[in-house]
């Protein structure tokens, strides 16, 4: 046990902030603290940092806070520098305990300093600038670099990704995974917590509850726990009612008076039952089905150029019914323009595209939520769907977190996030079979986002969407379309899989399984064309043997291709290990085998592409033959 708070209470300004909490840090744990705004998360960080003391409590036994040894604690704050006239280099090098510039420890410190500095998006020239020359967000990043270099026993981070772009955030995620000290962090970036946290503490009702695992695991475990506690509460309430009924029935009968007293005491011994706090995030358990199924191919494009004055991107692709595709790419790459083109809101620059038969579109962007009305939410919704009963309206709105008093709010007084949620509820209720969404969860709190994530996962139609919320992307997108360098790549797996493949590609461990959108159209087209062999197959009684034979032909080429990729990877790893263990590496000399390594890397990439194509061929064969 590195650090422990046992039965701790904190009172500030006469208000109870933390009540009899238990908190532990073991070894190198990465701990996330979650809870509603104002729950006391920052107070907990200040308590660990020593800025706040536990209040005296006669009920508590022991000191309340214990540690295995004297610990160093680093607490990232917004106002992190006392002297902003110093240069970045002066500030960061002053934290190094070794003054000798030729010492190995100093060399390691400066090398990590360079890695962190460039990893957060700074240039080497920025080292010479004074801290005062940087923006507030950049100063926070520099302060974070300082603490990561100091490596305190416990590092406290309050919203560490607030001033980071996606590239810097992803870089920090990877760094935190291998960080060798304990971290306690508060963040609203759920994907960041998913990637870094090994333990989650939920702060609710002034109490802490510990959940092992990352954020997603915490959400699942909490739902299970609430469900179990609710059932136990309901059973207890039934038993209390049964006993009270017996008391009322026999309390005035002399022969049964002692029996009634015994049952009353049994109820008293149970104590005052407390109903579990329900999770205020609604999870859709059943499918949300479109009104019409629509054709198999939802959208088809041939050499489609999109843009306004000039083409931003050209693509040839197909979207199949039921696909949920998230679109990635930098600002200005054409993501929103593509959505508007698909929805028919703007014409293409050139090329052809078409929607399938009976395809009905539900389109959403930030302007969609600019609604204003003097009607209540319930009245507004009922007017759009007059065939619904009042009870059905209330039930549907409750599923989108407009229950009770929320349904009585005037539409014009809703926040931007609430209006967006209402419009999305209307879209889903209208049951189109093709949803086109541009940043659907902007300005929403976590409970609203998770409710809509659940709805979109339950939706059985097709979704094409853009979002900068990486957790939303990971939960909803089953494949991703990447816009970059005026071209589009289709990746057939989810966002997290894409990130992992991209990292491995950067390290030379494999090429991301990206397929040009044109190739995806070719693959999809091959699947759509009924081959003569397939028709003849229906006349052959030994269909299984025929399928095994076809798959076997592919496997004869696929397995050697896989072995070649593994062989080249092993050779490259051996070369790299020899270099890292050599004296030349530590002297900073040029690697003699660098040319050969780059040749092997290029050969490995080609081998991986061949192997991947054979995997797709095997999949196509199994898919077409109904496996």
Q: Which residues of 11-42 are buried (b: 16+ CB within 10 A; e: fewer)?
A: eeeeeebbbebebbbeeebbbbbbbeeebbbb
Residue 344, pLDDT above cutoff 90: yes
Average pLDDT, integer, range 549-576: 77
Query: Residue 208's CB: how many other CB atoms inside 10 A?
Result: 22
Query: CA 373 → CA 121, 186, 409, 442, 538, distances in Å?
Result: 45, 38, 11, 21, 60
The residue with greater pLDDT, 217 or 534, is: 217
Chain-wide mean pLDDT for the chain?
85
Rounded Cα distance between 379 and 400, Å, is 15
Average pLDDT, integer, range 554-569: 80
Which residues have C-beta within 8 Å of that of residue 469, sequence separation ≥ 6? 191, 441, 449
Rounded Cα distance between 361 and 493, Å, is 24
The residue with greater pLDDT, 262 or 272, is: 262
Query: CA 332 → CA 335, 424, 479, 486, 499, distances in Å?
Result: 8, 25, 21, 10, 21
Q: In which residue are the tokens 């034979």 written?
A: 549
The residue with greater pLDDT, 290 or 14, is: 290
Q: Which residues are 87's β-sheet partners?
A: 130
Residue 545, pLDDT above cutoff 50: no
Q: Which residues are 438's β-sheet partners?
A: 466
The confidence band for 226, taking pLDDT boundaries of 50, 70 and 90, is confident
The confidence band for 585, taking pLDDT boundaries of 50, 70 and 90, is low
The confidence band for 541, taking pLDDT boundaries of 50, 70 and 90, is very low
Average pLDDT, integer, range 461-474: 95
pLDDT of amino acid 544 = 46
Q: How many residues does the chain have?
A: 627
Pair 443, 420: CB distance under 8 Å: yes
pLDDT of amino acid 560 = 83
Query: Residue 254's CB: how many other CB atoms inside 10 A?
Result: 7
Residue 516, pLDDT above cutoff 70: no
The confidence band for 85, taking pLDDT boundaries of 50, 70 and 90, is confident
Rounded Cα distance between 326 and 491, Å, is 10
Residue 624, pLDDT above cutoff 70: no
How many percent of the chain have pLDDT more than 90?
A: 44
Average pLDDT, integer, range 434-450: 92
Q: Is 437 exposed, middle or buried (0-12, 13-18, 19+ CB in 10 A)?
A: buried
pLDDT of amino acid 524 = 58
Of 145-149, 455-459, 512-516, 554-558, which has the strongest mean pLDDT? 455-459
Pair 190, 215: CB distance under 8 Å: yes
pLDDT of amino acid 517 = 66
Pair 275, 303: CB distance under 8 Å: no
* pTM of the predicted model as reported, rounded to 2 decimal places: 0.75
Pick the range with the lowest mean pLDDT from 34-48, 104-118, 570-584: 570-584
Residue 493, pLDDT above cutoff 90: no
Average pLDDT, integer, range 467-477: 94
Rounded Cα distance between 144 and 74, Å, is 10
SS3 436: strand
Q: In which residue are the tokens 């590496």 written?
A: 585
How many percent of the chain have pLDDT more than 70?
A: 87
Pair 144, 173: CB distance under 8 Å: no
Residue 175 exposure: Cα atoms within 13 Å on the Cβ side: 20
Residue 424 token pair: 């999305």
pLDDT of amino acid 522 = 53
The confidence band for 521, taking pLDDT boundaries of 50, 70 and 90, is low
Average pLDDT, integer, range 405-419: 93
pLDDT digits (tens, 9 = 90+) for 139-191: 888 889 989 998 999 999 998 888 888 888 888 998 999 999 999 999 999 99
Rounded Cα distance between 420 and 580, Å, is 54
pLDDT of amino acid 450 = 94
Average pLDDT, integer, range 409-414: 93
Dihedral sign (CA 508, 509, 514, 516): positive
Pick the range with the lowest mean pLDDT from 227-236, 266-275, 543-552, 587-596: 543-552
């Amino acid at each position: 046990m590195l650090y422990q708070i046992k039965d701790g209470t904190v009172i500030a300004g006469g208000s109870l902030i933390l009540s009899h909490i238990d908190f532990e840090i073991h070894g190198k744990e990465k701990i996330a603290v979650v809870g509603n705004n104002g729950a006391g998360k920052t107070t907990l960080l200040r308590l660990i940092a020593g800025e706040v003391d536990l209040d005296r409590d006669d009920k508590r036994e022991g000191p309340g806070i214990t540690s295995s040894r004297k610990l160093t604690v680093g607490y990232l704050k917004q106002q992190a520098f006392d002297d902003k006239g110093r240069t970045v280099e002066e500030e960061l090098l002053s934290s190094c305990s070794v003054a000798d510039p030729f010492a190995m420890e100093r060399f390691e410190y400066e090398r990590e300093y360079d890695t962190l500095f460039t990893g957060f998006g700074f240039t080497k020239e920025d080292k010479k600038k004074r801290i005062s020359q940087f923006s507030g967000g950049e100063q926070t990043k520099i302060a974070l670099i300082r603490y990561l270099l100091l490596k305190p026993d416990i590092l406290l981070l309050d919203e560490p990704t607030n001033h980071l772009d996606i590239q810097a955030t992803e870089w920090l995620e990877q760094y935190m995974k291998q960080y060798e000290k304990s971290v306690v962090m508060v963040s609203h970036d759920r994907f960041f917590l998913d990637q870094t946290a090994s333990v989650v503490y939920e702060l609710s009702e002034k109490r802490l509850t510990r959940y092992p695992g990352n954020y997603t695991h915490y959400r699942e475990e909490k739902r299970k726990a609430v469900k179990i506690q609710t059932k136990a509460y309901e059973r207890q309430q039934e038993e209390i009612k049964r006993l009270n009924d017996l008391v009322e029935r026999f309390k005035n009968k002399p022969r049964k008076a002692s029996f009634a007293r015994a049952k009353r005491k049994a109820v008293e011994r149970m104590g005052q039952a407390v109903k579990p706090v329900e999770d205020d995030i609604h999870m859709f358990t059943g499918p949300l089905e479109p009104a019409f199924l629509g054709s198999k191919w939802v959208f088809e494009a041939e050499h489609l150029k999109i843009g306004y004055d000039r083409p931003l991107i050209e693509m040839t692709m197909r979207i199949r019914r039921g696909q949920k595709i998230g679109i990635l790419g930098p600002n200005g790459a054409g993501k929103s323009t593509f959505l508007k083109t698909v929805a028919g809101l703007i014409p293409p620059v050139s090329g052809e595209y078409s929607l399938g038969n009976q395809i009905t579109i539900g389109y959403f962007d930030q302007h969609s939520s600019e609604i204003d009305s003097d009607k209540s939410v319930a009245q507004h919704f009922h007017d759009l769907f007059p065939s619904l009963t009042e009870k059905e309206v209330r039930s549907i709105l409750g599923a989108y977190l407009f229950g009770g008093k929320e349904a009585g709010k005037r539409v014009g007084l809703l926040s931007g996030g609430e209006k967006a949620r209402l419009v999305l509820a209307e879209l889903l209720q209208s049951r189109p079979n093709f949803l086109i969404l541009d940043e659907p969860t902007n300005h929403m709190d976590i409970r609203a986002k998770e409710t809509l994530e659940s709805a979109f996962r339950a939706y059985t139609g097709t979704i094409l969407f853009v979002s900068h919320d990486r957790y939303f992307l990971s939960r909803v997108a089953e494949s991703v379309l990447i816009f970059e360098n005026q071209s589009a790549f289709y990746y057939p797996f989810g966002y997290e899989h894409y990130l992992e493949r991209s990292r491995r590609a950067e390290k030379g461990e494999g090429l991301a399984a990206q397929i040009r959108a044109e190739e995806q159209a070719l693959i999809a087209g091959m699947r759509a064309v009924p081959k003569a062999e397939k028709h003849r197959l229906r006349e052959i009684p030994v269909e299984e043997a025929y399928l095994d034979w076809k798959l076997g032909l592919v496997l004869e080429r696929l397995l050697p291709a896989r072995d070649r990729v593994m062989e080249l990877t092993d050779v490259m790893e051996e070369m790299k290990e020899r270099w890292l263990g050599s004296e030349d590496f530590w002297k900073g000399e040029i690697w003699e085998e660098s040319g050969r390594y780059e040749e092997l890397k290029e050969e490995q990439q080609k081998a991986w592409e061949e192997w991947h194509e054979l995997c797709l061929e095997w999949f196509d064969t199994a898919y077409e033959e109904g496996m």
